[in-house]
Amino acid sequence: MTSAAGPSAAPPLPVFADVDTGVDDTFALAYLLASDDAELVGIASTGGNVPVEQVCRNNLGLLELLEVSDVPVSCGSPQPLSAPLRTAEDTHGPTGLGYAELPATDRVPTAHDSAEAWILAAHAYSGELVGLVTGPLTNLALALRAEPALPTMVRRLVIMGGSFDYRGNTTPVSEWNIAVDPEAAAEVFAAWGNAGLRPDTHELPIVCGLNLTESIVLTPKILARLASAADSHSMTMSVLDERGYRSAAANPLIRVLEDAMRFYFEFHFDQGEGYLAHLHDPFAAAVALDPGLVTTRTTTVDVELDGTLTRGMTIADWNGHWGRPPNASIAVAGAAGATAPLPTVFFDRFIERVAPFARRFG
Ligand code: RIB
Ligand code: CA
């Protein structure tokens, strides 16, 4: 097998991404499409940052922008399993892409929904599929209800979600992707816990929670590094810029990423966190392609559903109080012996991959 990395390289990993596109979801999809060691075989759309119809439009428009013709986009459930849908236009903008505008497209989603898309992909790539969820777990939970064997069929599952021994970002204790659909998250963790997986043959879901993803801090300076590496640097953004100032980058992908990110920077500044953003989803995408980026701890995770103050909280039973089988490997740090801090390793890799990819469109 010869690939871009040379004759000895392993074939690209088939990756199925379930997203609530969203600003950082967009960065995650760009990373996957830019990665030679990944073959994006499907995109599922889940309501979250914006309603599912808008998520689906964002996914189709992004593939139009990036001239990708062979990645099916499915549209998922319009509602969480039982909770009313909540969305985050204040964070991601009215369309979910901040100030960015994607090209019009006549592309349409698959006739089947995202739960069915999960099942079709798991069967088509049985034993090889890498699943990545960077939104609520609604459609994965629906897929598991229809195909209980799914945990034994996927090679790897990486979830951006939860927060472990750390604060929440949606309530004091819950993280957005879990908070939107706690029932779905509970069903997903239970399914992997009850699947009777043997650790020598199956990985447990790798969970990238806020405890680690909030260390992946994108600044205007790093974003300018990406633009420069893509031969498209126009300005280094600043909180002093006029609100909503549109990117003058010549490169269409850099322009979309900058316009999307400016809204996210402004939101975090208004929250008192600084003119910055946490790249939760592309970090999870990088882990999906290379779990060696992180140190994980295996444990049993469950989700609080009834607490008036704690609904949506992810709990890790580190000391085995519950006596239940493990169902997750929680990412808790960078790799042992890494030559640089985890954020540096991640952003270097992100720029190494996305900048040359962007130059194709320059
Ligand atoms: O809590 C962060 C997560 O919520 C990210 O996936 C972001 O896109 C939002 O969906
Ligand atoms: Ca997301």
| Predicted model pTM | 0.97
How close is the Cα of 236 to the center of ligand 2, in Å? 25
- Closest ligand to C-alpha of residue 284 is 1
How much distance in Å is there from the Cα of 8 to the middle of ligand 1?
A: 36
CA-CA distances (angstroms) from residue 245 to 229, 255, 270, 272? 22, 11, 16, 20
Ligand 1 atom closest to residue 280's alpha carbon, by position in its atom list: 5
Atom of ligand 1 lying closest to residue 49 CA:
10
Confirm whether 19 is domain-assigned.
yes
- Using alpha carbons, select from 51, 50, 63 the residue that is nearest to residue 17: 63
List active site positions: 280
Low-confidence ranges of the chain (pLDDT < 50): 1-5
Ligand 1, atom nearest to 134 Cα = 6
Residue 298 lies in a domain: yes
* CA dist., res. 280 & res. 219, Å (int): 14
pLDDT at residue number 359: 97
Which atom of ligand 1 lies at the shortest distance from residue 20's CA? Answer: 10
Query: Quick check: is 39 in a domain?
Result: yes
Q: Strands 13-19, 130-133: parallel, antiparallel or unpaired by DSSP?
A: parallel
* DSSP assignment of 81-110: SSSPP---HHHH-TTSSTT--PPP------
Nearest to 44 by CA among 110, 88, 96: 110
Backbone angles phi, psi at 340, to 5 degrees: -150, 160
Q: Is residue 233 part of a domain?
A: yes
Ligand located closest to 209 CA: 1
Q: Ligand 1 center to residue 50 CA distance, Å? A: 11
Q: Is 4 inside any structural domain?
A: no
Q: Please tell me the residue having the least CA distance from ligand 1 atom 4.
A: 176
What size, in residues, is the chain?
A: 362
Burial (CB count <10 Å: 0-12, 13-18, 19+), residue 284: buried
Residue 2 inside a domain? The answer is: no
Report yes or no: 37 and 13 within 8 Å, Cβ to Cβ: yes
Per-residue confidence (pLDDT) for residue 200, from 0 to 100: 86
pLDDT digits over 68-100, tens only? Answer: 999 999 999 999 999 999 999 999 999 999 999
Q: Does residue 1 sit within a domain?
A: no
| Alpha carbon nearest to ligand 1 atom 1, residue | 176
Q: Is residue 5 part of a domain?
A: no
AA letter at 345: V
- Count the domains in the chain: 1
Q: Whose CA is nearest to atom 10 of ligand 1?
A: 135
Q: Are 110 and 44 in contact (CB under 8 A)?
A: no
Looking at the CA of 23, name the nearest ligand.
1
Residue 44: which CATH number?
A: 3.90.245.10
Q: Which amino acid is at 104?
A: A
| Predicted pLDDT at 198 | 87
349 alpha-carbon distance from chain centroid: 16
Domain that holds residue 58: 13-359
Going by CA atoms, what residue is nearest to atom 2 of ligand 1?
176
Ligand 2 centre from 283 Cα, in Å?
11
Candidate from 25, 59, 216 with most ligand 1 atoms within 8 A of CB, to mutate = 25
- Give the DSSP per-residue string, 285-329: HHHHH-GGGEEEEEE-EEE--S-TTTTTBEEE-TT-TT-----EE
Q: What is the pLDDT of residues 227-265, one digit of tens each?
A: 999 999 999 999 999 999 999 999 999 999 999 999 999
**pLDDT given at position 30:** 98
Q: How far is the CA of 178 from the centre of ligand 1 (A)?
A: 9
Task: Find the residues whose C-beta lies inside 6 A of ligand 1.
Answer: 20, 22, 24-25, 48-49, 134-135, 160, 169, 175-177, 280-281
